[in-house]
Structure 1
Amino acid sequence: MSELHRHLMLGTVLAAALLPVPVLAAGSEDFGYCRDDITTGWNFYCDPEKEEPAPDQPAEAPAAPAAPAAPEKPKSYTEQIEEFRKELDEIKYRAVLEPTPENLQDYMEAQQRMSGMASAFTDQWQRVLFKSPALDINTRFPMSQMGGAVYQDQIRVARETSLKEAADNLGFMVVVEDSAICGLCTPQLEVIKRMQANFGIEPIVVTVDGSFHPLFPEAVVDTGQLKKLGLLEHPRPFIALVEPQAGIVEPLGGGLLTEDVILERVHVVTKIPAGERY
């Protein structure tokens, strides 16, 4: 190749090199660049695809510190005694259903423990009574034989006095009917007759049906008084303290009442306010 020809070729190459190169816009992908599988490796000047930013994830709240365990509530005395009772029942029933020497011994030992607890309770109970006479029933109702005899004498005097006062201020009424109908009427009149002799009371004997009773031949026949007093429907025999003028009626009860019962009931209704008997 001649020197002239070499210079021409070099000039042509230089001229081509100096020609302006078109600048690729950001959207050059539309012209096929950066998408051609063959030329992708050569188009290193293409911008890589931008990854979409991940949406913000809410920050996890820090775990709350574990609350301290609440202290175990102590068992009440009721719960404790219920547990003891259930345990004792279980031991007993096991010994009954499986009466082996071991099971029987367990039950006997459990019984002994329970007896010990009862003994300690009884001992303390008595000691408290020694220090607190107001709690001791013995101050009102003597428990000894001697004290009981004295108390019974005193209460009998009080009851007899109450009976006499009631008989003086109120009518001591005994309601009866024919003994063929009322099998308890004659025995009741026998009790009243003895009390008449012992205490000097004058009972008012009233017959509902006009029947005759030898112990009280002067008995009054009811002519409507019992209905006015509200006593007509009571079963016979029947005893009541009454004062017709003032309308006072204090029933003592029906059926066969003994002397002691009559004395007690008269004393209760005339001397002891309701709620203070015991």
Structure 2
Amino acid sequence: MDEGRATVPLGTLLLSIALLLAPQAVAAREGAYFGYCGDAIRTGWNFYCDPTAPEEEPEEAAAPDALPEALPSAASASPPKTYAEQIETFRKQMDELKYRAVLEPTPEHVQDYMEAQQRMSRMAAAFTDQWQRVLFRTPSLDINTRFPMSQMGGAVYQDQIRTARETSLREAAANLGFMVVVEDPARCGLCTPQLEIVARMRESFGIEVIVVSADGSFHPLFPEAAVDTGQLRAFGLADSPRPTIALVEPRTGVVEPIGSGLLTEDVILERVHVVTKVPAGERY
């Protein structure tokens, strides 16, 4: 070997060759190392390209002003369920648990329904407790201020109501005609019992009763009963059932029916009080 020529070790030479050929191996494997696979030509320098590999389409450049996809607006978001919808959903869930427990009464299904019922009972108890507490501090909502709920308060209230109704009856009888329309007891089975009730009220309250016999029949309790000669039609009572009780204003002829059929003393007292003392809409 010449002394002026550098001697390259064999290992170093092989490594250099390997490094030189490595890009070509990559090109043979990927087919585009030198950039010769950008067209449809498969000859010449392009023999490195893989003829079976599909051509890659260039990616479209994103628009410079492209923004990320907008989030759903508040208007498009589903609104929260109303309380009515929540209760309806809860009821359906309860029904589903109940029906499942009935049709498939396994211990687990029955227990699920019992636990759901217990939750519902706790909710009802909490509502009831809060209801009562609101009544305690809000007298305008408490019916007990107008209609006592206790036994003692109820007795006092009933006595007061009875007194007010009797007073209303006496005032009505003094200013209005207390008319009872009857007919032959053979056709009106309730007429005689009604006259008996009215006769007792006449004795108790001193009211004057006008009995009108629609068919001219005689009634021993009220032998002075008037016979209808057209006045019932004038009062609008010609076609009313028998017996019928009405208040009549003598001067104007205005008639206020109290009711038809058998009316007890308490019912008569109540109805006279209502029509003469209580304005419409203020009874309850």
The answer for the alignment partner of 1:147 in structure 2 is 153
| TM-score relative to the length of structure 2 | 0.74
Aligned counterpart in structure 2 of residue 268 of structure 1, from 269, 274, 282: 274
Give the Cα–Cα distance (whole angstroms) in 1 for the partners of residues 170 and 70 of structure 2. Answer: 80
Q: Secondary structure of the equivalent of 1:142?
A: coil
The answer for the alignment partner of 1:180 in structure 2 is 186
Shift of 1:200: 0.9
Give the Cα–Cα distance (whole angstroms) in 2 for the partners of residues 150 and 67 of structure 1. Answer: 73
Aligned counterpart in structure 2 of residue 191 of structure 1, from 166, 186, 197: 197
1:132 aligns with 2:121: no
Shift of 1:63: 7.4
Q: What's the RMSD between the two structures over aligned residues? A: 1.6
Runs of 4+ in structure 1 deviating by more than 2 angstroms, as ranges, are 62-67
The answer for the alignment partner of 2:44 in structure 1 is none
Aligned counterpart in structure 2 of residue 98 of structure 1, from 99, 104, 111: 104
Shift of 1:244: 3.2
Give the Cα–Cα distance (whole angstroms) in 1 for the partners of residues 273 and 231 of structure 2. Answer: 25
Aligned counterpart in structure 2 of residue 171 of structure 1, from 166, 171, 177: 177
Give the Cα–Cα distance (whole angstroms) in 2 for the partners of residues 246 and 66 of structure 1. Answer: 84
Shift of 1:104: 1.4
Give the Cα–Cα distance (whole angstroms) in 1 for the partners of residues 70 and 274 of structure 2. Answer: 66
1:221 aligns with 2:227: yes
Partner AA of 2:136 in structure 1: F
The answer for the alignment partner of 2:207 in structure 1 is 201
Q: Secondary structure of the equivalent of 1:206?
A: strand
Shift of 1:89: 0.7
Partner AA of 1:222 in structure 2: D
Q: Secondary structure of the equivalent of 2:257?
A: strand
Q: Secondary structure of the equivalent of 2:266?
A: helix
Q: Secondary structure of the equivalent of 1:74?
A: coil
- Which ranges of structure 1 fall in alignment gaps of 5 or more residues? 1-59
1:113 aligns with 2:119: yes
Partner AA of 2:278 in structure 1: I
Number of residue pairs the alignment of both structures matches: 219
**Alignment of structure 1 residues 2-151 onto 2, 5 Å:** 66-69=69-72, 70=74, 71-151=77-157
1:253 aligns with 2:256: no
Shift of 1:65: 5.8
Give the Cα–Cα distance (whole angstroms) in 1 for the partners of residues 131 and 160 of structure 2. Answer: 29
Report % sequence identity: 77
Shift of 1:197: 1.2
Larger gyration radius, structure 1 or structure 2: 1
Give the Cα–Cα distance (whole angstroms) in 2 for the partners of residues 249 and 199 of structure 1. Answer: 22
- Which ranges of structure 2 fall in alignment gaps of 5 or more residues? 1-62
Partner AA of 2:258 in structure 1: L
Q: Pick which of 267-276 and 106-115 moved more.
A: 106-115
